[in-house]
Amino acid sequence: MLEIAHFWNWDRTAQYSWGDDMRAFAECGHRELVIGENMALRMALEPGFAAGIRKIADRSGVVFTGVHAPWGMWDLLADEPGTAEVKRYVHTRLIRLLPEIFGIRHYVMHMMTWIGCYEGLFDEALERTGRELEVLLAAAAPTGMVIALENGFSVVDNPEAMLRYMRRYAGENVGFCLDVGHLNIVAKRNRFSFYRYLEALLPYIVVCHLHDNDGSEDAHRLPGDGNIDWKKLLPLLRTAPRLQSLQDESGTGDMTISERCRRIDAVRDI
């Protein structure tokens, strides 16, 4: 059974105390963590930063088993003038560095974070995605890294669109990151079956982001604090043949790490 790896907002504490937070997870029996987008960006741009984080993790008894790529201007279909070269540098740098330093084998990316920012037609987006993926796949192939595209809320990353992407581009180094909270919102908004799309996408799922909501907003609540049926969802997810990582992406406010781990234990044991 896969362990559940945790996102954590490292920006909430000073860097000198990160080891304390890591040890708190380890003491609760939760040893797997995820590199968030801000930490990932620093790893791409600051020499030695990734190796330093690895040393802290080793001393603290945890392992970083996943990563979320920088997003916004770094998204696959983002088109900020003058940024294409640095965007490709950041992603290819991380795709090569993270397997070497941490042994990470999946790289979660957003297609387009902000709804309405992509003004082209969907078929044009499909072609542009392919051109961008070619660059990243050239970096990923020697490392075994899988680029996992995440579902969101726009015309280019809704579940129907992701099925088209997966059927066209899915291969050994391309897969799907299912964000169940995002899917819950889009399913309610568009009045389609949550499980219809989940079952269709199962063959492509490499990573799954776990968080809850009531279908009205991207609240990133802990599992059980919304209307997602986790007793139905998790057994189905575990049948995904390519699934490598389950990741807790909930935001927990002022909740302590031990409280968070206790809540996730209840989900992990389903």
For residue 94, the model assigns a pLDDT of: 98
Helix 180-190 crosses helix 194-201 at what angle (to 10 degrees)?
Answer: 130
Residues 181 and 157: their CA atoms lie apart, in Å, by: 14
Any long-range contacts for 195-203 (C-beta under 8 Å, 24+ apart)?
A: 195/232, 195/236, 197/159, 197/160, 197/163, 198/233, 198/236, 198/237, 199/236, 200/159, 200/163, 201/159, 201/162, 201/163, 201/166, 201/176, 202/236, 202/237, 202/239, 202/240, 202/241, 203/240, 203/241, 203/242
As a whole number of angstroms, the distance between CA 170 and CA 146 comes to 10
Give the structural domain span for 251. 4-268
Number of structural domains in the chain:
1
- 198: alpha, beta or left, given left = phi > 0 and alpha = psi -120 to 50? alpha
Q: For the chain (length 270 residues), average pLDDT per consecutive 10?
A: 91 91 97 98 98 98 98 90 92 98 97 74 86 92 95 87 88 93 93 90 97 96 95 94 97 88 88
Q: Quote the pLDDT of residue 117.
A: 66
What 8-state DSSP symbol labels residue 212? B
pLDDT value at position 170? 75
pLDDT at position 231 is 94
What is the CATH number for 129? 3.20.20.150
Non-local CB neighbours of 52 within 8 Å, separated by 6+ positions = none
Dmax (CA) of the chain? 50
Predicted confidence at residue 253, as pLDDT, reads 75
The pLDDT value recorded for residue 116 is 61
Query: How many Å apart are CA 2 and CA 169, to the nearest integer?
Result: 26
Phi first, then psi, for residue 240 (nearest 5°) are -65, 120
Give residue 125's pLDDT. Answer: 87
- Prediction pTM value: 0.95
Residue-level pLDDT at 115:
63
